[in-house]
Amino acid sequence: MGLRKDIWRVGISDAPLDAIIEEGGVKAETVTWLPELKSFQFMADPFGFWKDNRLYIFVETYDYRTRHGIIEVFVYDERFNLLGRRVALSEPWHLSYPYVFEADGEIWMLPEAYHSGKLTLYRAASFPDAWEPACVIDLGPDVAVDASPFFHDGLWWLFYTPASKPPKPVGELHLAYAEQLTGPWTRHPNNPVRFDSASTRPGGTPRVLNGRVMLPVQDCSWTYGGAIRPLWFEALTPDRVVTHAGPKVRLPEQFAPYTEGMHTLSAAGSVTVFDVKRTELSAHGLSIELIRESKKFLQKKC
């Protein structure tokens, strides 16, 4: 955790993602906020799904004290009144980025779980809080971070950043494609199709806007999750990829103190869900880190 930590908060914008991208920013007056959590906890990586006139917002809930994330779901009515909250998915490993979508008559979730060493696609057994593993997406040596699936021109596409230890100083965007959601998947021959720190890590739902595929990506050039940019695909085929990045999505000053970053921007029908961050300094957080590391050291000695 250290002395400095990022605290994220999730909001619902009563505006479609297309409008936010075209206008270049989120308007404060359109936003309903999800509740803040207690100290050393946050919610991030929101993805929304409408069903039976209810908006289900799936988020990562993270606790700095355990360094473990689970997936929770918040349920809202059409007027954005909170109706309930519950755990949607929990595993022994850290979970985040709960990409929820519908395909082939089923509801699916593709969460990030790179600590498990694999990318598992889940199917809703009983929506929204009972999920069963459907398959493992095989990407060869790659373990995907923030994998974002998208059906386009008769193929399933997967946008992702491969995990690496230690983390690479410059980010990479990789692609894979398949005829069926469950695979087999083929990694793009031109991987990495893009590499920099400002426009490679996926950060939300891909869309087709004005005839072009647009992928929200994170700008991590000065801090993790510093901003979201649209990444435009001028060409997207199994043998050719051409991209260029647009400007950062603006945050209004009314979001303060949550104006230090954004790393998820997701479409949910006529609304958009997003996360923004603030940073705080905490001596208590540093002491928790020291205690945890001391315990790990003693366990190794034993």
- Boundaries of every domain in the chain: 4-301
Q: State CA 148 to chain mean position distance.
A: 8
SS (H, E, C) 128-177: CCEEEEEEECCCCCCCEEEEEEEEECCEEEEEEEECCCCCCCCCEEEEEE
Q: Nearest 5°: phi and psi at 297?
A: -65, -45
pTM score = 0.93
Superfamily of chain region 4-301 = Glycosyl hydrolase domain; family 43 (2.115.10.20)
CA 10 vs CA 43, 263, 271, 272, 275: distances in Å = 7, 11, 13, 11, 4
Give CA–CA dist 105/276, Å, rounded. Answer: 33
**pLDDT tens, position by position, 167-219:** 666 799 999 999 999 999 999 999 999 999 999 999 999 999 999 999 999 99
**pLDDT tens, position by position, 24-78:** 999 999 999 999 998 899 999 999 999 999 999 999 999 998 999 999 999 999 9
Give CA–CA dist 298/125, Å, rounded. Answer: 42
